[in-house]
């Protein structure tokens, strides 16, 4: 169940980040409220995950997978630029996450 909590926290955090972009600097109230709700929900669910996963590992996975997902969403849906350096950097983040998982984290 701990990994389900962590995955849910990641999805909620990424959703909050998308709503942050859509809020246009807090000028759109509805998106601003959704951003706050999703971020608070993400932190709440993350706190459930770290009850049974090392905090350093859970946070690294939460932030790393979140960065990767929001980068893909930014390029595909928000028409943000992509470069070789961005792709390599994201791959390095993912390599770190895989390394954490292979290190025996249950």
- The domain of 88 spans 2-102
Domain count, the chain: 1
Are 19 and 35 spatial neighbours (Cβ–Cβ below 8 Å)? yes
**Predicted local confidence at residue 105, as pLDDT:** 60
**Predicted local confidence at residue 41, as pLDDT:** 98
Tokens 């849906």: give the residue: 77
In 2-83, alpha helices (H) = 2-22, 29-49, 55-76
Residue 75 tokens, joined = 């390029």
**Mean pLDDT, the chain, whole residue set:** 94
Which residues of the chain fall below pLDDT 70?
A: 105-106
pLDDT in tens, 59-89: 989 999 999 999 999 999 999 999 999 999 9
């Amino acid at each position: 169940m701990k990994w389900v909590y962590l995955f849910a926290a990641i999805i909620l955090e990424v959703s909050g980040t998308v709503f942050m972009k859509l809020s246009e600097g807090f000028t759109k109230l509805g998106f601003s409220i959704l951003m706050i709700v999703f971020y608070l929900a993400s932190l709440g669910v993350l706190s459930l995950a770290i009850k049974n996963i090392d905090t350093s590992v859970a946070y690294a996975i939460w932030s790393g997978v979140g960065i990767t997902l929001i980068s893909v969403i930014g390029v595909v849906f928000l028409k943000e630029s992509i470069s070789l350096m961005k792709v390599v950097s994201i791959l390095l983040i993912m390599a770190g996450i895989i390394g954490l998982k292979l290190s025996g984290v249950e």
